[in-house]
Structure 1
Amino acid sequence: MTFRSMILATAVACALAAVPAGAQAPAAPPPVAPAAVPAQPEAPAAKPPLAPMDVFALEDAVDPQISPDGKRIVYLRAGYDMAKDARRAQLWIIGADGGNARPLTQPGATVSPARWSPDGTRIVFMAVRDGAPKLVVRWIADDREVEIANLPGAPDSITWSPDGKQIAFATLVPDPPRQVGTPPSAPPGAEWKPAPRVIDRSYYRADGIGYLPSGKRQLFLVSADGGAARRLTSDRHDYGAPPVGPGFYDWTPDGKALIVEVNTHSDLEFVRGKFFDSGLYQLDIASGAMTKILDRNGPEGSPAVSPDGQWIAFTGYLDKGEFHGGSQLSVLNRRTGEIRVLSKDLDRDVGMPAWSADSRHVYAIYADGGMNYLARFDLNGGRAVIASGLGMAHTAYSAVPSYSLARDGSYAMQVSDATSTGNIAAGGPGRAARRVTTLNDTLLGSRAIARLEEFRYTSSAGGLPMEGWILYPPGFDPSRKYPMILEIHGGPDAGYGARFDIEKQIMAGAGYVVVYTNPRGSTGYGQRFVNLITDRFPGDEYDDLMSGVDAVIARGFIDPARLYVTGGSGGGTLTAWLTQRTDRFRAAAVLYPVVDWQSQALTSDIMPLIFNGFFHSTPWNDQARYREQSMLRMADRVKTPTLVMTGEADYRTPISESEQYYAALRYHGVESVFIRYPMENHGLRAFPSHFAAKVAQIIGWFEEHR
């Protein structure tokens, strides 16, 4: 998932329906479908529906890495520890045919995803042992392993050199914290409170991380046989820090250099608009010299060097001052400097490039409408869809599911569909993708799962075609009248699809028809569609969303007097936007919203994005626009009973946003409740008990007004 889009979570084992190799995925917004066929009655549910406590039973397969020979897959199997209220994970290995699955690490250990050595005999990963992070190399054939490095900080972005003799990684190099004056020291035996923080940089905290430690992330190299790690970089740049992400460098095939994505701008430039403006540089392993390859106005990232060393594949865009830049797939000729845009005929965001072994094709993923695709691009811009159905665990968001390639073109990828979640599929030349894990099948097989249906409609604002989905309560009977929940996604440049979503399933299990759509500003429908909200979010999304509500009501099984609405982040903002313009909803749940763009910009971890994305101005030179788009301007019009909910450690949409909105609602006599989650960040998913309670409380609020 890009940092921008973070503004921004079966009864029968189903095989993944892959698109045949050579087929072309659609590249245009979906047309409006003809009138929907009336919903059919379902047999009464013989099993209980999903409930909030089922969250603790969910598992997911993360970061599947297929071996170079395409025969085995190593992945991180993650779940929840109910007793400790924490996420747990361990490394597993499974055959690409789904056989011989076994764990590689002990339950409860803290481990990172693994990476295969080039010869496929070993994996490397990070593990916390005896309270300290260590790099561990494990031989797969005999389960022998060795700790090759003890490190002061946790390593990440771990990669093997092409000859398998060295391992590169990134880790924080701490600096002494800034001091102002000489604070007194505690006398012996005294128990003083924590010392004050001294902050001297613009970007000093990040959601999900907290206050950033003093120092910079640097690149290191260590022998695969162990020994002291050698520092490769020693400068002011922060390698792999947000918003860059983990796949920020790659080896050249000769092992003599790294191609690195790095943001070289100063703190002042960074905060004034160069937040995403990274470039590609070559880092010489022997000397540490850094040479610029490409650094234009806009991001160049996710570098991948072709096996023959001739090309660098990368993603990015030239900044044209739009809300959403639109990530393209390009290749750069290392010898001539020629740049080819491989996805110029595909008006979709493309990410995660990887080369075929013969250096003739680049694989990458993209979302078209509500579906994710893995595609193969040739060097002349031709495109063939390899597989569909990629998806993150337990959420309808398109996000950025992971995949990996073997030398023979075999692949492993995260998958999700309407009735299964958290699994891995594998495929390859001549064979379609097939699900190889069965995580959550036992749980979902014992529950009544809500049926998902796609629908199309037209927005009343501009006649735009829209795509949405309906979840029917188990045992649905179209002759009845059901309450309906409209659920709105965040981002806002993100998108939903036909994937299993535990929150929505629990809502449907409680007896609600759940409707979710992709209004303007959503990704997956092209640059024009997503950038309709440039400098005007929120705006006409009201019409997009309410037209979807009316389209579902027209089917005849919704009680129009029992409509409910909820959403988080950008979806929370839109929930407030709707209730300020209509009293059709019986109750609303506004989750971690933006309600005042000025305070949001100056207190959140994405100030540069507010000033150079949502707006192309600042509060001090465009006060009227910031007020026009803020939820506080029309808070006096709200009549809908409203639940407000946020995490107290949310630095994306800080809790002060929710505090302001709740205070405004109470002042104007609106029935309202404010729920604050301690220690929680954006999205309320840091602790499974909080995630489960979040869904239960939303449903509970709606039940109070049913």
Structure 2
Amino acid sequence: MSLDTTPVTQPRTDGFQPASLASFIDLLGADFNAAADLLVYAANSRDGLRTCEESVLWGRSLVSDEARVLSSAEGSQSNPVISPDGATVAFLQEAAGCSQLCVLDLASGKVLALTDFERGVAAVAPQFSPDGRTIVFAGCAEPKRDPAKPYRVTRPVWRRDGMGLVEDVKADLYLVAVGGGEPSRLTSHDGIVSDPQFSPDGTSVLYGCFAEPGSAEFAIRVAALPGGGEGFEVMRGEYLVYPPATAWLPDGRVLHTTAWQVSRPLDLVIFDPVTGTATNRGIEIAGQISGYLQPAMNGALLEPRLLVDDAGENCLLYVQNGGRLDTCAISLSGPVTVTTLAPDEASTVPLALRGSQLLLARTSFTAPLDLYLFDTSEAGIGGGVEVTADASTPRRLTGLNAAGLPPAPFTVRPLAFEGEDGTAVEGWFLEPTGGAGPYPTVLNIHGGPFAGHGQMFSLENYLFAAAGLGVLCINFRGSSGYGEAFAQPLWADWAHHDAGDLLAGIDAAVAEGWVDGDRIGSFGLSGGGYLTSWLLTHSDRFKAGVAECPVTDWNGMVGSDIPQVIARWMGSDPGTGPEAMALYAKVAPATYAADCTTPMLIIVHEADLRCPAGQGDVLYNALSMAGREVEMLRLPNMFHTGVYDVADLSGRIIRAEAVLEWLTSRLLSTNDVS
């Protein structure tokens, strides 16, 4: 027996810590007016310095840069939308446990509630008619269901993570006058509607719908207003989590993305209601339209959307190119051209377009989401607003965390290496500032798995690096943004290329002298929790692991809210005999629990429907029965990504403390007895 006398490295106590979450401010919605002189946004702070557990409506003058809270009401305010004349803001106001549609008169500051539904209205942004007189919104005027009473399930799509039971959140479209009055019902689908948009002439509304009784499909439809002609269906397809993004063209045609098929590339489609024909643009690009980089912060602003310029010549959207989201303009006629707007080493997502003025959300490894304004006319896109002197440079509009967030506690080191079969793989090492390598390191594994790491802010990365830990991020096989061939090998072959690429990435980072190969931990949520569980049951390279919302039992995942996606990932339909289920057990970490030699913390979100709480229970019980070192942290009432929501600040801090303590206590000490 020998005693290692290397000094103990203690976690730092300065800089960003779990308690710092109480001063981190998230953006949750934004809009600006046609004159481009007023910005309205929702943020979880009432004083601009500390967080609160609800979102609050703020207004910022784009002339004086003065910002103020627009309404002092209690309860969350969300989904702000400015009227065409710029005089009114429509938004959702929480009261008595549900949200109602309200309008705020910007001149007087008076708020008028337009609905009083017992169920409240749906968490869908309301929309003004082109003349500004009417608002379309989503809601349900039926009485609430008594949650204490039994209920019968008959819908194929009957629940969704973050929403709960469809029966409790179902909604149709309603119209209401801006000045008040009785809302009138526009649709009767008894499902969930999304993204309503008035037509340019104001006679109809474009929207999406899914979870209708008896249907496992989504549909894009147009509903005609009373006296406005006939409604029609644009398209329908199998519902696989993400419905297509949609937009009107100025001439009354409809633009939408193709249906999401997990790792398949998306295209743009133009539907002509006059002829009933749909025409694909045939876009072939290296990146992924509406790809996904995993944010470890609130990502409400990062929803895919399509914006169309006034002439109908270009669609503005974001494209994931490897580890970055680029705002691009894609031509809608003639040869396909793709123009990247405001390119830099950051991710940008388009939010709203007024003439040539484009509102962007921007983030990076080192910067949380903030709002920027960009003049697209410098790139030959749009028109109608005079070009400013420095139009080619996006103008920063907000700096919500400029005062409270310390400088990034790490330097970003790009990592390029060959995966387990020689395929080129991209990654990054976040080197802690003020130290010297090789560093004890956390392998931070992204979820999805069709997602990625890259230019996207992460609270966890800040916490790890501030404590003196290096962070290794790898876009393994199965990640988005690198083409279908890069993502497809994961299907029906889980824990092969993905786990192999992660281990090869560790080897490459150790060879660079960045990572201490004897002090590596693994952390991941969702798909990252799955791979953490798999690596810890198949490798002895790790000293600690945190698996949050993990997939540990693929049989049980058929009981999640995405069973159709699970069947595709496995390449085998469940319930068709033992042979069909063999792979489900073969690639389940719980199958190999007795082989785990690494201390594991399992974090369970008890309201999670995407990776249900039972997934963590299975692995915890199996590890306990095998006599392995394991603990479990349970977060009540937390849905899948609820740790990045604005509610339950104390729970989010407790969770961050537990993750950091578990990893630092095992990685920063080298006093090992052997």
TM tier, smaller? 0.7 to 0.9
Q: In the alignment, does 2:321 pair up with 1:368?
A: yes
The correspondence for 1:505, drawn from 449, 462, 473, is: 462
Q: 1:567 Cα deviation (Å)?
A: 0.8
1:689 to 633, 650, 672: 650
| CA apart distance, 1:127 | 1.7
**Alignment counterpart, residue 93 of structure 1, candidates 59, 73, 77:** 59
Instruction: Report deviation, 1:584.
Output: 0.8
Contact residue 207 and residue 652 of structure 1 kept, 8 A? yes
Which amino acid in 1 is paired with 2:264? Answer: G
Which residue of the other structure, out of 663, 677, 680, is the alignment partner of 2:635? Answer: 677
Shift of residue 59, structure 1, vs aligned partner: 0.5
Q: Is the 8 A contact 1:59 1:80 kept in 2?
A: no
* Count of paired positions: 616
Native 8 Å contact 2:154 2:213 kept in 1 = no
Aligned-partner residue type, residue 31 of structure 2: Q
1:264 and 1:278 in contact (8 A); partners too = yes
- Counterpart-to-counterpart distance in 2, 1:202 and 1:336: 33
* 1:385-534 alignment, distance < 5 Å: 385-388=340-343, 401=349, 403-407=351-355, 409-428=356-375, 429-430=377-378, 431=391, 432-445=393-406, 449-461=409-421, 463-478=422-437, 481-534=438-491
- Give the drift of 1:516: 0.9
Matched position secondary structure for 2:254 = strand
Q: 1:629 aligns with which of 580, 587, 593?
A: 587
Query: 1:251 — aligned with what?
Result: 198
Q: CA deviation at 1:175?
A: 6.5
Sequence identity, in percent? 25
- Cα separation, partners in 2 of 1:147 and 1:506, compared to 1, 3 Å: same
Deviations 1:137-157 (A, max 9, x none): 223344344333333333233
Structure-1 separation of matches of 2:52 and 2:162: 15
In structure 2, C-alpha distance between the alignment counterparts of 1:693 and 1:98, rounded to whole Å:
40
Query: 307, 312, 316: which is aligned to 1:354?
Result: 307
Shift of 1:79: 4.2
**Distance change >3 Å, CA 46–CA 662, structure 1 → 2:** closer
Task: Report the more deviating stretch, 48-57 or 119-128.
Answer: 119-128
AA aligned opposite 2:283: K
Report the Cα distance in structure 2 between the residues aligned to 1:262 and 1:211, rounded to whole angstroms: 16
TM-score, length-normalised on structure 1? 0.81
Query: Shift in Å at residue 371 of structure 1?
Result: 0.8
Is 1:668–2:626 an aligned residue pair?
yes
Deviation at 1:330, TM superposition (A): 2.3
- Counterparts of 1:120-199 in structure 2, within 5 Å, are 120-129=86-95, 133-155=99-121, 156-174=124-142, 194-199=148-153
1:533-552 to structure 2, matched below 5 A, reads: 533-552=490-509
The residue type equivalent to 1:450 in the other structure is F
Query: Given that residues 25 and 51 in structure 2 are in contact (C-alpha distance below 8 angstroms), is that contact kept between their aligned partners in structure 1?
Result: no
Superposed, 1:21-36 pairs within 5 Å as none
**Structure 1 pair 107/234, CA: closer, same or farther in 2 (3 Å)?**
closer
CA deviations 1:510-548 (Å, max 9, x no partner) are: 111111111111111112222221222232111111111
Following TM superposition, by how much is the alpha carbon of 1:100 offset from its aligned partner in structure 2, in angstroms?
2.5
CA apart distance, 1:488 = 0.4
Q: C-alpha distance in 1, partners of 2:408/2:138?
A: 45
> Which residue in 1 is equivalent to 2:254?
312
**Which residue in 1 is equivalent to 2:7?**
none
Distance 1:94 1:231 in 2: 34
Cα distance 1:506–1:235, how it changes in 2: closer, same or farther (>3 A)?
closer
Partner SS state of residue 205, structure 2: strand
After TM superposition, give the deviation of residue 593 of structure 1 in Å: 0.8
Maintained 8 Å contact 1:279/1:301: no
Q: CA–CA distance in 2 between the matches of 1:167 and 1:52?
A: 42
Q: Provide the C-alpha distance between the structure 2 equivalents of 1:460 and 1:307, rounded to a whole number of angstroms.
A: 50
- SS for the counterpart of 2:115 is strand
CA distance in structure 2 between the aligned counterparts of 1:638 and 1:81, rounded to whole angstroms? 48
Runs of at least 5 residues in structure 1 that lack an aligned partner in the other structure: 1-44, 179-192, 241-245, 271-276, 392-397
The residue type paired with residue 465 of structure 1 is A
> For residues 678 and 507 of structure 1, do their structure 2 counterparts lie closer, same or farther at Cα, with a shift above 3 Å needed?
same
| Aligned equivalent of 2:545 | 588
Are residue 282 (structure 1) and residue 239 (structure 2) matched?
no
Residue 15 of structure 1 corresponds to which residue in structure 2?
A: none
In the other structure, the counterpart of 2:562 is 606
**TM-score relative to the length of structure 2:** 0.84
Q: Deviations over 1:22-55 (max 9, x none)?
A: xxxxxxxxxxxxxxxxxxxxxxx99922111001
Q: Determine the structure 2 residue equivalent to 1:4.
A: none
Q: State how far apart, in whole Å, the 2-side matches of 1:556 and 1:46 are.
A: 22
Give CA-to-partner distance per residue, 1:659-690, whole Å, 9 cap, x none: 11111112222211122222222235152222
Provide the residue aligned with 1:218 in structure 2: 172
Please give the alpha-carbon distance, in whole angstroms, between the structure 1 residues aligned to 2:402 and 2:102. 32
Alpha-carbon distance, 1:387 to partner: 2.6
Q: Distance in 2 between matches of 1:596 and 1:122?
A: 51
Residues 1:425 and 1:460: Cα distance change in structure 2 (over 3 Å)? same
SS of the counterpart of 1:375?
strand
Shift of 1:389: 6.4
Q: 1:572 aligned to 2:538? A: no
Match of 2:78 among 112, 115, 126: 112
Q: Encode CA deviations 1:192-244: one digit per residue, 9 max, x unaligned.
A: x94444444444443223344447311100112211100111244x132xxxx
Correspondent of 2:600 among 627, 642, 651: 642
For 2:271, which of 305, 327, 332 is the aligned residue? Answer: 332
Give the Å deviation of 1:168: 0.5
Q: CA 1:305 to 1:148, structure 2 compared with 1: closer, same or farther past 3 Å?
A: same
Asked if 2 retains the 8 angstrom alpha-carbon contact of 1:593 and 1:657, the reply is yes
CA–CA separation in structure 1 for the residues paired with 2:616 and 2:282:
41
Q: Is the 8 A contact 2:119 2:144 kept in 1?
A: no
* Cα shift readout 1:346-400 (whole Å, capped 9, x = no counterpart): 2412341111112222111121111111111112321111134698xxxxxx8x9
How many angstroms apart in 1 are the aligned matches of 2:115 and 2:266?
37
Q: How big is the shift at 1:466? A: 1.3
Structural mapping, 1:63-82, within 5 Å: 63-79=29-45
**Alignment check: 8 A CA contact 1:89 1:108 kept:** no
Quick check: 2:139–2:172 contact (8 Å CA) kept in 1?
yes
Residues 1:233 and 2:175 are matched in the alignment: no
Can you give the 5+ residue segments of structure 2 that lack an aligned partner in the other structure?
1-10, 291-303, 379-390, 668-674
Measured after TM superposition, the shift of residue 699 of structure 1 is 2.3
- Does the residue aligned with 2:256 lie in a helix, a strand or coil? strand
How far, CA to CA, are the matches of 1:160 and 1:410 in structure 2? 19
Residues 421 and 151 of structure 1: CA distance in aligned 2, closer, same or farther (over 3 Å): same
User: Does the aligned pair in 2 maintain the 1:473–1:508 contact within 8 Å?
Assistant: yes
Amino acid at match of 2:477: R
